[in-house]
């Protein structure tokens, strides 16, 4: 149940807590941190969040983000949409950072309103002297309530930076500055407690809500001297699409090409770069297993989309009954990143 902290005539902010490091602490000395703090507990000690605001808090779950799934994120989306219908000016989700780049993109593809939806978390548990959760949450609230944030879709706020869901990646496992947007950079910064946007965001694409949730998308990485055992069983295992995390600009071993050729006749095959920065190519190399060869075999290059986000995109497209148009939408959205 939503917990109301101030009067209704004030600007309304809704916060949904999912758990993650921002909520974690060690239960006793020598033990590792685990989810412990509810949404209400996260706000304790952040007095600025209570100044001139009606803050509503719901603890939606209390788990590490590695255990989040598509079905749960659809429930989070519905909750956030309900908050908008209730008249809130902004919505904040707190969660673990392990999957933050993926959940942000998932929600962004389905967020069909102008009200800002901001995701944040923490790199240090709440019981550490240098815990970053309170500052990140306060910054996220300020971003969510800023009128400049409207029509920007889902944003990620971490370490005084504002990132677009399309571009943001977790690029460090433990550093405070764990999130960045390779090539593109943050869309904004927090400067002296003010929201400062650096550029506009491009036109957004919003997909229909998925009508089915039981389809599956496989993600296979390319590695040096990788065997073909998993690739050989993709169709037999009943996957509905395959994303290949490919070398460089979209390349695979010669040992993979015949299998990919077969798989593309049955299900969509997407090729994304495993490098972490830069797009897949389309017309650079012509060797067997190159991007040009794979395109000729029916695979779709994902442009600037990383493998993890490509998997989310195709899962949503198939779920919305747009499976026959997967190639068009994936390619358009993947290369559209360069224009954002």
Q: Residue 202: what pLDDT?
A: 79
Question: Is 31 a catalytic site residue?
Answer: no
Q: Residue 338: what pLDDT?
A: 53
| Residues 198 and 163 sit within 8 Å (Cβ to Cβ) | no
Quick: pLDDT tens for 266-275. 999 999 999 9
**pLDDT average, residue stretch 156-178:** 97
Within this chain, domains 3-197 and 217-339 share the same CATH topology:
yes
338/185: higher pLDDT:
185
Q: Give 105's contacts (C-beta < 8 A, 6+ positions apart).
A: 154, 165, 166, 309, 312, 313
Residue 150's pLDDT band, with cuts at 50, 70 and 90, is very high
CA of 310: how far to CAs of 68, 93, 305, in Å? 18, 23, 6
Residue 301 predicted with pLDDT over 90: yes
Q: Residue 330: what pLDDT?
A: 76
Tokens coding 239: 């996957």
Annotated binding site: 65, 97-98
Q: Residue 5: what pLDDT?
A: 43
Residue 31's pLDDT band, with cuts at 50, 70 and 90, is confident
Quick: pLDDT tens for 92-138. 999 999 999 999 999 999 999 999 999 999 999 999 999 999 999 99
Residue 7's pLDDT band, with cuts at 50, 70 and 90, is very low
324/243: higher pLDDT:
243
Q: Give 328's contacts (C-beta < 8 A, 6+ positions apart).
A: none
Q: Give 140's contacts (C-beta < 8 A, 6+ positions apart).
A: 92, 94, 118, 119, 120, 157
Longest pairwise C-alpha distance within the chain: 66
What is the pTM for the complete model shown?
0.95
Domain assignments of the chain as residue spans, ordered by start:
3-197, 217-339
Residue 6 predicted with pLDDT over 50: no
Q: Residue 337: what pLDDT?
A: 53
Q: Active-site residue among 21, 59, 120, 280?
A: 21
**pLDDT average, residue stretch 259-270:** 97
Assigned architecture for domain 3-197: 3-Layer(aba) Sandwich (3.40)
Q: Residue 3: what pLDDT?
A: 47
Residue 295 predicted with pLDDT over 80: yes
Residue 324 predicted with pLDDT over 80: no
Annotated binding site for substrate: 65, 97-98
Q: Residue 45: what pLDDT?
A: 82
Domain 217-339: CATH class, spelled out: alpha beta
Q: Residue 50: what pLDDT?
A: 82
Q: Residue 131: what pLDDT?
A: 95
Residue 4 predicted with pLDDT over 80: no
Q: Residue 1: what pLDDT?
A: 45
Residue 2 predicted with pLDDT over 60: no
Residue 37's pLDDT band, with cuts at 50, 70 and 90, is very high
């Amino acid at each position: 149940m939503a917990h109301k902290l101030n009067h209704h005539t004030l600007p309304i902010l809704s916060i949904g807590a999912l758990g993650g490091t921002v909520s974690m602490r060690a239960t006793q000395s020598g033990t590792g941190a685990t989810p412990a703090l509810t949404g209400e507990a996260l706000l304790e000690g952040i007095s600025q969040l209570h100044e001139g605001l009606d803050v509503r808090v719901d603890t939606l779950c209390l788990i590490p983000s590695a255990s989040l799934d598509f079905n749960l994120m659809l429930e989070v989306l519905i909750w956030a949409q309900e908050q908008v219908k209730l008249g809130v000016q902004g919505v904040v989700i707190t969660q673990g950072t392990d999957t933050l780049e993926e959940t942000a993109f998932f929600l962004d593809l389905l967020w069909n309103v102008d009200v800002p939806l901001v995701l944040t978390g923490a790199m240090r548990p709440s019981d550490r002297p240098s815990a970053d959760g309170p500052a990140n949450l306060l910054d996220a609230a300020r971003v969510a309530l800023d009128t400049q944030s409207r029509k920007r879709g889902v944003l990620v706020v971490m370490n005084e930076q504002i990132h677009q869901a399309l571009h943001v990646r977790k690029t460090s496992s433990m550093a405070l500055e764990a999130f960045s947007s390779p090539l593109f950079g943050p869309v904004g910064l927090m400067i002296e407690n003010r929201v400062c946007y650096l550029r506009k965001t491009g036109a957004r694409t919003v997909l229909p809500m998925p009508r089915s949730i039981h389809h599956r998308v496989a993600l296979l990485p390319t590695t040096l001297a990788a065997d073909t055992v998993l690739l050989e069983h993709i169709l037999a295992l009943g996957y509905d699409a395959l994303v290949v995390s490919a070398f460089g600009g979209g390349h695979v071993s010669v040992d993979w090409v015949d299998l990919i050729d077969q798989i593309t006749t049955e299900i969509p095959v997407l090729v994304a770069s495993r490098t972490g920065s830069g797009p897949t190519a389309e017309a650079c190399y012509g060797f067997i297993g190159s991007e040009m060869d794979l395109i000729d075999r029916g695979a779709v290059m994902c442009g600037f989309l990383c493998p993890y986000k490509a998997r989310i995109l195709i899962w949503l497209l198939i779920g919305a009954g747009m499976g026959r148009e997967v190639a068009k939408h994936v390619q358009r959205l993947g290369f559209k990143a360069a224009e954002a």
